[in-house]
Amino acid sequence: MIYYPYFRGRQFDLRALTQFAATDYADIVPVIEPVKDLNALPKTIAAFTTANRPLAIIQNPQVGHYQYQAQQRYPINAVLDAVNIVPAFVLTPLLPPETLAANPRALIIVQHFDDLRLFIQRGWLPETAPLLAPPEARTRQLLQGRQFGHIFDHFPFPEHSADFENMTDSFYADDITFAHQYGETGFSDFLTLGHTYSEQGHPSRAVTLHLTYLKDEQVRVRHFVSDQHADFSHPKEKFFEALDKAVEWISDQPEKNLTTTTTRLIALQTTHKFPGMGILKQLMIEHHLAIMSRYLHLRKNG
């Protein structure tokens, strides 16, 4: 069973992945859809190559402006030839069939049922290609006999971050049980980032920390929201309001839910340091990847 966490290649996503490449994990293949021409992108790819860890790179990104640049300042073509790099493609009507024929073991990301049906009916989809597709019954029927898994956005995004006040704890996923039920070989999600992509991001009136954790062999997520959310000011003060709640929760958690991120959060409270929203995003990603690695290990050996 393989977990394919799906990333848009933004700065702090890539920094979290670079840190993750050096950790001890198994059965995880991150997927990066390049969206920006960042120096961190080839550095992240190189980090996975150095660690001899598999990493999937989408060759035809569908969001962001990366694919429209005639020339990148930080090109990645030279580092894509490493044996650990898995070519990946988003299935669209514009994807040339000969591209898949030349990459028969590439990872295929299915977004729409009609595209999948077209490629299967025309015989354009290599039998050897693993696929990630929405968890729909009609899609699973088309993929019978193939190597496939589901991709799904598990994270509940209310209209405003402050609304997490009314939803402090929520079920995240039990993907392995679902995958076993339908004969799947893997699964993918968008972590606690959500599948929606915005070039500039969205300011928030509240500061919210999201920590995934394990309970009853399932993955849940705990939300910690600042008390202030009337306007966009005072992010530092709001961070410590949310952090105090998070540290109180962390102090009652078993070892399986403690990570380098939870240790770092305790240290930030002790030293009263605000690392900035980008670093907080990085820490949340690192924590989620660590928890998912334990989830895989738990279910594999349980």
| The pLDDT value given to residue 166 | 66
Banded model confidence at residue 5, pLDDT cuts 50, 70, 90: very high
Contact 21, 44 (CB under 8 A): yes
- At 285, the amino acid letter reads I
**Strands of 169-173's sheet, edge to edge?**
169-173, 218-225, 208-215
* pLDDT, position 165: 64
pLDDT at 259: 98
Contact 162, 205 (CB under 8 A): yes
Q: How far apart, in whole angstroms, are the C-alpha atoms of residue 42 and residue 31?
A: 14
Structure tokens at 178: 């679902």
pTM of the model: 0.92
Mean pLDDT value of segment 3-16? 94
Backbone angles phi, psi at 208, to 5 degrees: -130, 130
pLDDT in tens, 48-91: 999 999 999 999 999 877 776 767 888 888 888 899 999 999 99
pLDDT of residue 293: 97
Question: What is the mean pLDDT of the segment spanning 246-268?
Answer: 97
pLDDT of residue 205: 79
Q: Which residues pair with 301 in a beta bridge?
A: none
**Nearest-angstrom CA–CA distance, 162 and 206:** 5
Identity of the residue numbered 169? D
Identify whether the C-beta of residue 200 lies closer than 8 Å to the C-beta of residue 229. Answer: no
User: Looking at residue 157, what is its pLDDT?
Assistant: 61
Q: Are 225 and 267 in contact (CB under 8 A)?
A: no
Average pLDDT, stretch 9-18? Answer: 94
Mean residue pLDDT across the chain = 91
Q: What is the pLDDT of residue 282?
A: 96
Q: Is 187 buried (19+), middle (13-18) or exposed (0-12) by CB count in 10 A?
A: buried
pLDDT band at residue 41 under the 50/70/90 scheme: very high
235-250 helix and 260-271 helix, angle to the nearest 10 degrees: 120
| Confidence band, pLDDT 50/70/90 cuts, at residue 203 | low
Quote the Cα angle for 255-256-258, to 5°.
65
User: Quick check: 161 pLDDT over 90?
Assistant: no
Residue-level pLDDT at 193: 79
- Burial (CB count within 10 angstroms: exposed 0-12, middle 13-18, buried 19+), residue 300: exposed
Structure tokens at 129: 């290609």
Segment 173-195 mean pLDDT: 92
- DSSP-based three-state secondary structure for 221: strand
Scan for tokens 């008390």, then name that residue: 227
Question: How do residues 96-152 score in pLDDT, each as one tens digit?
Answer: 999 999 999 999 999 999 999 999 999 999 999 999 999 999 999 999 999 999 999
The Cα–Cα gap between 22 and 80 comes to 19
| Reported confidence tier of residue 9, pLDDT bands at 50, 70, 90 | confident
Instruction: Give the model's confidence band at 13: pLDDT under 50 very low, under 70 low, under 90 confident, else very high.
Output: very high
Q: Taking the CB of residue 183, how many other CB atoms lie within 10 A of it?
A: 12
Return the biggest CA–CA distance within the chain. Answer: 61
